[in-house]
Amino acid sequence: MQAIALNKTTLFTQLLLKPIAISLILAISAQINILTVPVPITLQSLVIVCIGLLCSPTVAALSVVYYLIEIGFGLPFASGFSGGLAALLSPRAGYLIGFLASAYTSAKILTYKRSFFTLWLAATAGMILLYTCGVTWLSVLFGLEKALIVGLYPFINEIPAFIAIAVIGSYQANKLIK
């Protein structure tokens, strides 16, 4: 009987408590601006990659889904303290979808093998997915040239730095856990 209670608690923690806590960290990261010219650069993409590198695919995906639900219900968790359906359907919608693809795919890659190389591979794949989704949505709205100018070029220096920080940080965290 004790083992059953432990399994229920573990399942509850893994599917509800842990992803909600992570979604709140993601909401906080949306409000931390590194640079604001020409486009606000927040810590969200770094946190998304870290989620993918540190969580299981299920927890990673649920964390982002809960974050999107929280925004959809109007909580001011998107960048600039915005929320509601307008925030979900805004030009940033592609990036929000990219968050889910990035976190899940990065975590899924690491289910096959976890090494320093696969951490780099997973983080890079996650970033590529994130920005591909974001720029694709922007290009539907504004055309490819403007989408690249607004949605990718301002972040070119951030991307490799965030990948490196996420990989080194998660590698060290995994070493501490072991």
Q: Which sequence spans correspond to the domains of the chain?
A: 2-177
One-letter amino acid for residue 110 of the chain: L
CB contact at 8 A, 133 and 98: yes
Task: Please count the CA atoms within 13 angstroms of the CA of 125 that sit on its side-chain side.
Answer: 18
Would you tell me which CATH number, out of the four given (1.20.120.1200, 2.40.50.140, 3.50.50.60, 1.10.1760.20), belongs to the domain 2-177? 1.10.1760.20
Calculate helix-pair angle for 158-177, 44-54, nearest 10 degrees: 30
Measure CA of the first residue to CA of the last residue in the chain; give whole Å: 30
- The residues that bridge with 78 in the sheet, in sequence order, are 82
**Which two three-digit tokens encode residue 26?**
């993601």
3-class secondary-structure state, position 41 = strand
pLDDT in tens, 74-89: 999 999 899 999 999 9
Q: Tens of pLDDT along the chain (178 residues)?
A: 444 444 666 877 778 899 999 999 999 999 998 876 556 789 999 999 999 999 999 999 999 999 999 999 999 999 989 999 999 999 999 999 999 999 999 999 999 988 999 999 999 999 999 999 999 999 999 999 999 999 999 899 889 999 999 999 999 988 887 6
CA distance 95 to 104: 14
